[in-house]
Amino acid sequence: MFSKVKFIALEKFQTLVLIGETGCGKSTQVPQYLLEAGWCKDGKIIGITEPRRVAATSLASRVADERGCILGTDVGYSIRFDDSTDNNTKIKYMTEGILLREMMGDPLLTKYSIIILDEVHERTLLTDIIMGLLKKILKKRKSLRIIVSSATVDAEELRDFFNSNTRKYGGKDSACILSVEGRLYPVDIFYVTDAVPDYVKAVVETALKIHETEKSGDILAFLTGMDEVDRAVSLLHEHGKLVNVEKQKIMPLAMYGSLSNADQLKVFWRAPKDTRKIIVATNIAETSITISNVAYVIDCGFAKIPWFDIETHTNSLIITPISKASADQRAGRAGRIQAGKAYRLYTEKAYEDLSQCTPPQMQRSDLAPAILQLKGLGIDNVLRFNFPSVPPSKNLLAGFELLYALGAIDYNGVLTNPVGITMAEVPLEPVFARCLIASGEMNCSDEITTILSMLQVENVFIRPGGGQASINARIAHRKFEVEEGDLLMLLNIYTAYEKNKCHSWCQKHFLNFKALKRASEIRTQMRRLMEILNIPLNSCEDDATRLLKCITAGMFPNAAYLHYTGGYKTFRGNEDVHIHPNSCLYTLQQPQWVLFCEIVQTNKIYMRELTVIQSEWLLDLAPHFYQRTTLNSAYTRI
């Protein structure tokens, strides 16, 4: 395990690449060792970045508990729209986006003595941006130290990236590798003989079989997304009542990124006596968090990842086979406390056919947010920026085109004033940031902040798995539906919530009280940001058309039209898409034109969070993007 002696390397090297299995203490023990070694002298801070907010909040809570301090004092966290630190905080956990925002005001990160980049093996878009920026900062701040923490063995690549600062000019190494061995018990791997037709059902059946036949130890099952996790947890609750096990009950728990902090923390609690926890999680549980007492893992073999389609210029969440690295990480969760077992719901040949690792997000993402961030940080020539993984030129070009269409950059790629500069300050997707700016000009910022806040929380609706409860939920939700689409429905829900603000009202209407409370907190923070950015706060006073036009002013790139075949096609790329079954438009007469917030790909390609618009608005609000001839050609296909 760790010893303080190992970190003497930081006296000689600016960058330390730390390799160790998830659960070995990289995220919790290292910051404490560094604090005790004096790295927080003169009021400096040890900062730790995490790809997910649940990791930032749970790790901060655990370290504060270990040090016997109140969370938010010596140890704290900062995530988007939620800060739990004070002026005396010494160890600060934060999401990657928070560190990027801080760089805008403090480009050299002068208040930090050490930055620890945790979970670098996930290679998120923000991870790669931060590594490129830190590499530049290290040239100017020789006293700054960087620890790059990874659970997989990509150490040489990471070391060489940071070493190129000095090796380029024949200097000494500025980065080194430190490997730490964790205490892993053996894990037996089991495969299915034939592919399973329904892996959600197979996860539930396997979990119940383990519970009936295996000795003590909690179960961790991996699925791809919130809907699958909730479905499995619901089935486990139903089946758990029927299982004839005298000694042990089961406690099914969900774990995914959009859960409230309180619900996420439940998976870390010790189960009551004679109870086995069955945690059903997305890939958030692969490496970002360590759940104690897990002895059995069930791996569906798939994950949901963001993917940018360069042909259609759309961001999709696609379900895809995991990599070997992910499969091994999942299996390793079973060997933390005792010898464990991993049940893979795919064949051994399927495992052998998996790719070695998942492509970095930089190579499969919409790069408009990254370009906007870098421009806001003063990186004029993004094309020459030193990314750890070179992004595809087509993706970069598409990102520039979108930002130009939104008015964020001019013909020369320079941030416009005030639109582009303001958009770079707003911690939202570029299309949403543009909506926010337009709302001040179109006198509907009060409503737009509400809608955008609601879009930041995913699980507003409670949708029971089946039976009468499912019917009752659908009836309750219909009270808020409007023909203008899902975004105005969210506005109606929040407006009604503001008048009641109680658990019982939310239960009656099958709405998630914690999600609505979180949306309210985000809305308060967003309004505060608007005051700082001098965006007027005003209301459209029930003028739905003005509100819809404002949404169009930012989201015009995400348009789809009704095709004569009965389905929809995206305006860019002519991709076949469908209204998601959870949309309030699903059972209404199909509108001719809609805007979507995101694309989700399962058995079909679905549009989510829809808004009904008029095609004329596209010409009025984005004439540079939509020409009358192109709209007319779309009409010929309707």
DSSP per-residue codes, 213-244: HS-S-EEEEE-SSHHHHHHHHHHHHHHHTT--
Euclidean distance between CA atoms 354 and 358, whole angstroms: 10
Q: Is 43 left (phi over 0), alpha (psi -120 to 50) or beta?
A: left
Q: What is the pLDDT of residue 625?
A: 86
State the sign of the Cα–Cα–Cα–Cα dihedral 400, 402, 406, 411: positive
Which residues make Cβ contacts (< 8 Å) with residue 378, sequence separation at least 6?
107
Euclidean distance between CA atoms 39 and 25, whole angstroms: 18
559-563: average pLDDT: 95
Euclidean distance between CA atoms 423 and 282, whole angstroms: 31
Helix axes 513-532, 430-441, angle to 10 degrees: 60
The token pair at 66 is 């270990």
447: helix, coil or strand? helix
Q: What is the pLDDT of residues 291-317, one digit of tens each?
A: 888 999 999 999 998 888 887 778 788
70 neighbors 64 (Cβ within 8 angstroms): yes
Q: What is the pLDDT of residue 164?
A: 66
- With tokens 């390609």, the residue in question is 605
Euclidean distance between CA atoms 143 and 130, whole angstroms: 18
What is the per-residue burial (b if ≥16 Cβ within 10 Å, else e) of 298-308? bbbbbbbbebb
Say whether pLDDT at 5 is over 50. Answer: yes
Q: What is the pLDDT of residues 503-554, one digit of tens each?
A: 999 999 999 998 899 899 999 999 999 999 999 999 999 899 999 999 999 9
Q: What is the pLDDT of residues 403-462, one digit of tens each?
A: 999 999 999 999 999 999 999 999 999 999 999 999 999 999 999 999 999 999 878 998
- Secondary structure (DSSP) of 137-192: HHHH-TT-EEEEEESSS-HHHHHHHHHHHHHTTT----EEEEEE------EEEEE-
Say what the pTM is: 0.85
List strand residue ranges (DSSP E) for 3-59, in order.
Answer: 15-20, 45-50
What does the CA dihedral 145, 146, 147, 152 come to, rounded to 10 degrees?
-150
With residue 498 as reference, give the H or E element that holds it: helix 486-500
Q: What is the pLDDT of residue 628?
A: 56
Q: pLDDT exceeding 70 applies to what percent of the chain? A: 93
